């Protein structure tokens, strides 16, 4: 920590110099650099000056809670409301995503089928400069306000009106006032969704593969606790998607949990139960006892070949699901080592906010913990994230790994022979696959670029560093284009189309792994 303002000046000077160098490397001229810096530092100062007592209390509380472990947190009222929205995938408001743009609040996008979208009165790019409550309420100034303040003014109970004074994006020299009726907005973009692909299979009919992507383990706690049969949850949505996929006679299923940071423990248990006959799914260890969550329903929603796709950002509830599928030999885990969050949190009301307290650790039915180590896939893909900088093991105060007793459960037949065959097939393809080779080399040059602990503040050194990176990128792009029969390029920024992103490249590999899985499981007489 710096003791006084004087000792901070060298740091501020270095930060400013680094910012200027970055803008020069982006080919900005002197005038645009000065304009960018003026706006950036003005916004930083404005943000600091808008710090209120609630912000200070939140910083203090979380400084205290983080001394216990990284997941014990204080949620102030606005963060508590955002947490509820994230878990229920719904809010009451107009359905607009906003961001600060200098002194204005700008509309980034509209949530499909939300009140703002249906009204045709508000458009992306519009700037909100005032907000009024009801049909006759005073329009209060929103210029220069914090984003959370403006959001709080706009949100409100369904069936009420909010009036917005805006600068339209297509006519910036005028203002107009619009009125929108608030409704319950469903955030379907974060809900589970499905897809079906048809894959050709040499000397065999094409195969249909179902894909279910689950971004988070959501549960509308309020509706569930009230006994509302229409409550929103991951398991209910996936159950419906599985029914639809079975109607399509799929031959295999991929559950995509990449970047799924977890959510409801109940949903992790319930979702696992859709793929198992019955039995324990996870063990919960508190200070005094060990309890277990069970799938008590002997029915199975899907009993065919199953692949669970994970990556470094798959955490918590995702790891419970993947760990159970792995321990029961119910399917194949594919991807990269997961996050390693093996703790359970409870929410306690605290005034208008909440306190999220770590109260237990969870363990797989095998007795293994996911804490720090995560879930290791049966078939490993290239790791897109730097292990040292991501995951539970990179967090200060993270609890250590340990294990507990294995619980009684009936696993399906071991899949060791299939693991071996799938790995052999993947490695043979990986050696020749243009997309996968491109991805591996991108990871290598990025690792080399970020290998140095310090960043040079010498302009010529940074120019040389950038030139070397661009040359390396040009080489691997042209290798990729040559492999797929496209003409080479002269600059790395010249052509980005035609190169699939990392997630797509790895999903394409998973399609091929599934083809092998279906073939080998039939050949070896596997069934679930």
Report, as residue numbers or ranges, the catalytic residues: 316, 327, 341
**Helix %, strand %, coil % of the chain (to 5):** 40, 25, 40
Q: What tokens were used for 29?
A: 């001229």
**What does the alpha-carbon distance between residue 387 and residue 365 come to, in Å, rounded to a whole number?**
26
What is the token pair recorded at 299?
A: 């029915």
CA distances from 47 to 100, 147, 148, 181, 286 (A): 11, 10, 12, 31, 41
Spatial separation of the C-alpha atoms in residues 291 and 282, rounded to whole Å: 9
What 341-348 contacts at long range (C-beta under 8 Å, 24+ apart), as own/partner pairs, is 341/71, 341/262, 341/315, 341/316, 341/370, 341/371, 341/392, 342/369, 342/370, 342/371, 342/372, 342/392, 342/399, 342/401, 343/69, 343/71, 343/371, 343/399, 344/265, 344/284, 345/71, 345/72
Say what the alpha-carbon torsion angle 440, 441, 446, 449 is, to the nearest 10 degrees: 150
Q: Report H helices in 26-76.
A: 30-49, 53-65
Output the CA torsion 260→264→268→274 (10° steps).
Answer: -110
3-state secondary structure of 343: strand
> Helix (H, G, I), strand (E, B), or coil: what is residue 352?
coil
Nearest-angstrom CA–CA distance, 123 and 61: 39
Please calculate the CA angle 159-184-259 and round it to the nearest 5 degrees. 160
Place of tokens 């216990």: 68
| Helix 317-327 / helix 265-273 crossing angle, nearest 10 deg | 30
């Amino acid at each position: 920590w710096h003791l006084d303002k004087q000792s901070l000046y060298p740091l501020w000077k270095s930060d400013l110099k680094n910012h200027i160098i970055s803008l020069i490397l982006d080919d900005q001229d002197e005038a645009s650099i000065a304009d960018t810096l003026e706006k950036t530092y003005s916004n930083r100062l404005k943000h600091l000056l808008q710090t209120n007592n609630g912000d200070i209390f939140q910083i203090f509380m979380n400084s205290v809670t983080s001394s216990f472990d990284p997941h014990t947190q204080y949620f102030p009222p606005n963060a508590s409301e955002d947490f509820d929205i994230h878990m229920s995938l719904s809010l009451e408001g107009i359905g607009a995503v906003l961001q600060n743009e200098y002194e204005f609040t700008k509309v980034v996008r509209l949530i499909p089928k939300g009140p703002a979208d249906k009204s045709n009165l508000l458009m992306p790019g519009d700037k909100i400069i005032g907000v009024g409550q009801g049909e006759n309420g005073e329009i209060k100034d929103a210029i220069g306000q914090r984003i959370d303040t403006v959001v709080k003014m706009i949100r409100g109970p369904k069936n009420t009106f909010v009036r917005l004074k805006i600068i339209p994006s297509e006519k910036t020299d005028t203002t107009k006032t619009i009125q929108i009726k608030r409704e319950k907005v469903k955030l379907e973009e974060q809900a589970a969704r499905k897809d079906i692909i048809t894959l050709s299979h040499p000397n065999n009919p094409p195969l249909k593969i179902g894909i279910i992507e689950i971004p988070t383990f959501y549960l509308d706690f309020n509706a569930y606790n009230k006994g509302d049969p229409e409550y929103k949850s991951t398991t209910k949505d996936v159950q419906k998607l599985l029914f639809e996929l079975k109607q399509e006679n799929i031959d295999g299923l991929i559950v995509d949990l990449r970047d799924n940071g977890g959510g409801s423990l109940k949903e992790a248990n319930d979702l696992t139960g859709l793929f198992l006959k019955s039995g324990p799914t996870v063990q919960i260890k508190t200070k005094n006892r060990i309890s277990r969550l069970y799938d008590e329903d002997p029915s199975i929603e899907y009993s065919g070949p199953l692949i669970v796709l994970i990556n470094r950002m798959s955490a918590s509830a995702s790891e419970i699901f993947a760990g159970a599928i792995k321990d029961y030999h119910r399917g194949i885990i594919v991807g990269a080592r997961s996050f390693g969050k093996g703790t359970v949190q409870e929410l306690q009301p605290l005034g208008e906010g909440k306190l999220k307290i770590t109260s237990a650790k969870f363990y797989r039915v095998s007795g293994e913990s996911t804490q720090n180590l995560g879930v290791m896939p049966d078939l490993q893909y290239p790791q897109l994230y730097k292990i040292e900088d991501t995951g539970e093991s990179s967090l200060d105060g993270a609890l250590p790994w340990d294990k507990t007793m294995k619980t009684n459960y009936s696993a399906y037949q071991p899949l060791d022979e299939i693991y071996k065959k799938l790995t052999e097939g993947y490695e043979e393809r990986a050696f020749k696959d243009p997309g996968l080779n491109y991805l591996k080399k991108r990871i290598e040059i990025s690792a080399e670029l970020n290998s140095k602990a310090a960043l040079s503040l010498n302009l010529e050194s940074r120019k040389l560093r950038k030139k070397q990176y661009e040359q390396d990128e040009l080489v691997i792009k042209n290798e990729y284009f040559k492999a797929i029969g496209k003409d080479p390029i002269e600059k790395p920024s010249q052509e980005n189309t035609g190169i699939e992103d990392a997630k797509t490249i790895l999903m394409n590999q998973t399609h091929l792994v599934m083809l092998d899985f279906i073939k080998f499981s039939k050949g070896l007489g596997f069934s679930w």
